[in-house]
Every structure is written in structure tokens, then in C-alpha cells.
Amino acid sequence: MKILLYNPDNGVTRNFMPHLWMFLLQALTPPGHEVSLVDGNARAMTEDELVRFVRAEGIELVGIGAMTRMVARAYRVADALRAAGVRVVMGGPHVTECPDEALGRDGGPRHADAVALGEADETWPLIVADAARGELKEVYQPERDAKGLDRKPSLQPYPEIPWETLALDQFSLVPGFLRPLLGRMGGGWGTFHVVPIETGRGCPYGCEFCTVTGFFGDSIRFRTNESVVNELLRLKERARRERGQVAVFFIDDNLAINIKRTKQLLRDIIDAGAQIPWVAQISANLLRDEELVDLIAASGGKWVFIGMESIDPANMADVNKNFSKPGEYGAVLERLARRNVYAITSFIFGMDNDTPGVAERTLKEINSWPPGLPVFGQLTPFPATPLYERLEKAGRLTRPKHWLDFAPFVMAHTPLHMTIEEARLETRHAWEVSYSPERNAEAVEYLRDKHIQYRLSHLVSRLFFRGIYFPQMGKRAWLKVIYQNRKTINGLIREGASTWRAARRRQKQLAAAPPMTDAR
């Protein structure tokens, strides 16, 4: 049977990396079936184009996965495919939280033939087998334990995702028109892939707005260090063979949740020579440990994603994230920066203690820290979270099914001390200031004592991150951004060229020097 796994585009801008679930389910598909992948963020297709593609390829089963914010688009695609006679299975966090919506059991239209609830590692092979026999059931769910909870799949053993042979063309981050030029630079930059890898699942913290503790559970399951290290080695080999670049996003919700285990994993990566530039999510409280930060840097860690959420401790208490202390954010970032590791700092506006001016206050604080990549979102009640329940009970949801009329950066409830429109404007202001050409120049200047590679990597990351808020998908948009930042770019190019010439001169002098002879 031919199967397509489809991830809808997120409606704002392109994601910078593919979604792990597609590769994982592909690897878990029983033999005898052919699985292709389309990520709408990387390979945009209209509903009609997808239907034509599915017909032309003779695909009989389509699996669609979606976060809440993409689910309306996922439903439209599913409707078009089902109308064309193709069976659709949906899975992922949103349909797990709202299965009746996908199956049309809530009075609305039906979008999926079947839904896979929760983690699908063990149910996916059953779904494929049932579909091949023409006996697809409506609901697939992991087995239950004695307490009636989903039995979570073990990550030992973990399937081998064949990264070294997978076609990753649709996911290269280098814009097509720059590939020939960049392919000739340094070790080869013609392709650049950010690959998702998980080393564990689950989170015990239970922040109010988050679905993770409910979905993956509050106890953590880890892969073996060996299987993670092998995956890194295979990726490293691929990058070498292609003369391209690969970086890894460890998508664990908190890579350092068990510090002892994380330190051992990082030591194993170092011992095996499996270092690849990596990014991971780690909460600020765990980054107090100097040895951990040393190991992060030595094992290839370049950026740490920190869910800072708010600089106001009252907000942190409101969302049950008291373990993260705004007062120590600056020190944490200094500790990382001393090792040339920088942070993607994530903030949420529209919390109950926020008032107009929250963006300016947050920006002032951010500017007192080493430069990073701040990202700004708004408090969003995702279904089945404690936040959703609290706001629903209080009658505060203005759009209880906000995902069915998804509007980027427009809140679905009114914060206590500001309006929805004010929250939208605060968010816009924060993005505008943080990624302005002036701020980009300041960030690069702050790093003037560092090797040029850090300043270059910082600037390039800034130009990409700007695109999370301001769509910049085509050549024109990119050229505009490059033009706006031309002073900083030119400065770095000039410095890069003189560093390169100096290195060449040194090499020539060394080659011309008489060989050292043994004086005995």
C-alpha cells in the first residue's frame, strides 16, 4: 500500500525544521508499504494539488498530523482527500485532545476516517495493517495501565531513522538562489539541514498552558545514550559526504531534566567524536550547573532554547512556572555566553499580570543581557490544558474554538489588565524592535571580541528568526532584508575576507619555510 504522511503548513511562516513524527512513523511502518512525506511548510501545495498528487501516486492512505494552530488547514486537506475517496488518519496533540471534532461526533462535519490518540509508536503498525486489509477502525489508542492511563511506549529500543539516505531536499534552509554560491564556501554550505532528534519524552513540571505533561506524562522515558550517539554519527557522516551542514534540534522538552543522565549523554557524545552543532530546550533553573554548561559547549551545543515566558514573577506563579526565576535569567545567559553558547529566549505576552508597556519593559531587560534570539508569543489556551479549563470555567474564552478560525497573534481570551488588541500591538512592537537592523547591528557589535564565526552565525540566525513573525519566504523578501542590514553584512564580509587573506598568508609562509631537520 502507498501511504502519504502530510504535515500542514503553519499559516504564518515556514518552520525551520521538519517534524519528527513523520520520520518516526515512516521508520515504524511495517515492511511491504511505501511511505512518502510532504511537509506543507517546505513544499507548499493547495488542497487540489494534494489531491492530484495523491491520485497520480496511487496513494491509498494519508496520515495527517497537526498542532492546534494548524488543525483548520489539516481539516480542509482531509476533507478534500476524503471527497476524492482517499482514507485519512489523523494524529498528534490536537486530535488527541479533541477526537470528537475530527470524527464529527461533536455535531460538526467529519474530517477523518480514523484518529490515533496519544503516542502512536505502537498503534501505527496496527493502523497500517488494518488499512491494508480494508478494516480501518475509528479510534486507535495505546493500551491502558491499571490506573486507566495510556501505557507509554518505551524508547528502548528506538527505531533507526535512516537520515543518511532520506531525501531531505525540501528541508534545506539555504534559499535556492544562494545555493550555488554558498556551496563553494568553507566546508560547503550548499545545503543546511536542521534535524529533529529526541532523547527522551515527558515532563514533570506541568506548566498551566502546556500540553506536554498531559500528553507524554510526568515521568520521563529516555533512549539509550548509545542510540542517540549513533544517530549523531550517521548524520555527521552524511554532512561530510554531501559537503553540506547539519545541525540537530534535540526536541526533548527539557534536555537536562535529569542532569546526571544529561551529563553522561554529553560525555558520550564527546568521547565518540559525535559533536554536531546542536540546539536544545533547557529550563533556566537547570542552567545553574557550571559543569553542565561546560559539557553543553564541549559537545557541540550552540543555542539553548529557554522558555522564559515573563520577566514578572507574579505571571510565572500564575502559570505554575515558579521554578523558573526571572531574576536569574541574566546570570544564566552570561554563563552560557562565556562558553560561546547563546540563547533563544521565549516570552509570552497577555498573561494576567501584564499591562500595556510589557513589551518595552521586557525589551529593556533583554537589552541588559548578552544578545540572544528573543521570540514572542501570546498566552494561548490549548484544549485539555489546565489553562483552558480555568479560563473556560471563568467564562473568559472569547473564541473557545480559536483553532477553527485561526488568527496569528490574536488572543482567544481577554487578559485581565489589557485588551486583545493591546496584546497584539505589544507583540508586534517586541518583534519589530528585536529584529530591526539597528538591533541586529548592536548584537553583532556586542560580540566584537569573539571570533568572526560567532558574529556571522548570530547575524544569520537573526535574519532567519525575523521570519517567524514577518513572512520572508521569497527572493524579494530576502533581498529586502539583506539590503536593510547591508552595513552589518558588509562589515562582516570585509572582516571575513581579511581574516581569510591573513590565514592564507600564514599558510604560504609556513609552506615556504625550510623544513625542520633533526639536529642530532
Query: Distance (Å, rounded) from C-alpha 520 to C-alpha 199?
Result: 56
Q: Which does 484 bind (CB under 5 to 8 A by kind): ligand B12, ligand SF4, none?
A: none
Q: What whole-number distance in Å separates Cα of residue 382 and Cα of residue 319? A: 13
Which parts of 234-253 interact with ligand SF4 (CB under 6 A)? 253
Reduced to 3 states (helix: H, G, I; strand: E, B; else coil), residue 453 is: helix
Site string for ligand B12, 120-139 (x = CB under 6 A): xx--x---------------
> Burial, 83: exposed, middle or buried (Cβ in 10 Å; 0-12, 13-18, 19+)?
exposed
Region from 192-200, 205-213, 229-237, 330-338 binding ligand SF4, contact rule CB under 6 A: 205-213
Minimum Å gap between C-beta 218 and ligand SF4 is 9
Which residues on adjacent β-strands are paired with residue 5? 37, 63
Picked from ligand SF4, ligand B12, none, the partner binding residue 283 (CB below 5 to 8 A depending on kind) is: ligand SF4
Phi then psi for 389, rounded to 5 degrees? -60, -45
User: Contact between 318 and ligand B12 (CB under 6 A)?
Assistant: no
Cα Rg, the chain, nearest whole Å:
24
Q: State the DSSP code for 144.
A: B
CB of 67 to ligand B12, least distance (A): 3
Q: What's the rounded Cα separation, in Å, for the pair 426 and 517?
A: 69
429 counts as binding ligand B12 under rule CB under 6 A: no
How many residues contact ligand B12, by CB under 6 A?
36
The nearer residue to ligand SF4, 5 or 207, going by C-beta atoms, is: 207
Give the one residue of 8, 40, 63, 381 binding ligand B12; rule: CB under 6 A: 63
Residue with cell 524579494: 476
Give, in degrees to the nearest 5, the angle at Cα 128 between 125 and 129.
85
Q: Does the footprint of ligand B12 cover residue 466 (CB under 6 A)?
A: no
Nearer to ligand SF4 by Cβ, of 2 and 390: the residue is 390
Q: How far is the CB of 254 from ligand SF4 (least distance, A)?
A: 6
Q: Residues with Cβ < 8 Å from 354, sequence gap 6 or more? A: 310, 312, 315, 415, 417, 418, 423, 426
250 makes contact, choosing from ligand SF4, ligand B12, none, with CB < 5 to 8 Å by partner type, with none
In terms of CB distance, is 63 or 374 closer to ligand B12?
63
Is residue 262 involved in binding ligand B12 (CB under 6 A)?
no
Q: Which does 91 bind (CB under 5 to 8 A by kind): ligand B12, ligand SF4, none?
A: ligand B12
Q: Which is nearer to ligand SF4, 81 or 197 (CB)?
A: 197
Angle CA(160)–CA(153)–CA(248) in degrees, nearest 5? 40
Out of 93, 244, 300, 307, name the contact with ligand SF4 by CB under 6 A: 307
Half-sphere exposure of 496 (CA within 13 A, CB side): 14
Q: Listing from the earlier edge strand, what are the strands of the sheet with 2-7?
A: 34-39, 2-7, 61-65, 87-91, 114-116, 139-140
Q: Does 36 bind ligand SF4 (CB under 6 A)?
A: no
The reply on whether position 206 binds ligand SF4 by CB under 6 A is yes
If DSSP codes are grouped into helix, strand and coil, which group holds residue 493? helix
213 lies in the site for ligand SF4, by CB under 6 A: yes
Q: Choose from ligand SF4, ligand B12, none: what does 463 bind? Cβ within 5-8 Å by kind.
A: none
Q: Would you count residue 377 as binding ligand B12 (CB under 6 A)?
A: yes
Q: From the list 26, 123, 199, 254, which residue makes contact with ligand SF4 (rule: CB under 6 A)?
A: 254
On whether the CB atoms of residues 435 and 465 are closer than 8 A, the answer is yes
Binding of residue 313 to ligand SF4 (CB under 6 A) = no
CA distance 130 to 153: 20
User: What phi, psi does 9 have (nearest 5°)?
Assistant: -70, 155
Q: Candidates 4, 24, 248, 296: give the one binding ligand B12 (CB under 6 A).
A: 24
Q: Is 150 helix (H, G, I), strand (E, B) or coil?
A: strand
20 touches ligand B12 (CB under 6 A): yes
The reply to whether 26 sits near ligand SF4 by the rule CB under 6 A is no
Among the listed residues 3, 4, 17, 59, the single contact to ligand B12 using CB under 6 A:
17
Q: How far is CA 187 from CA 136, 195, 244, 247, 271, in A?
A: 49, 19, 7, 14, 23
Chain positions contacting ligand B12, by CB under 6 A: 10, 12, 15, 17-21, 24, 63-65, 67-69, 89-94, 116, 119-121, 124, 196, 198, 210-212, 216, 251, 253, 377, 382
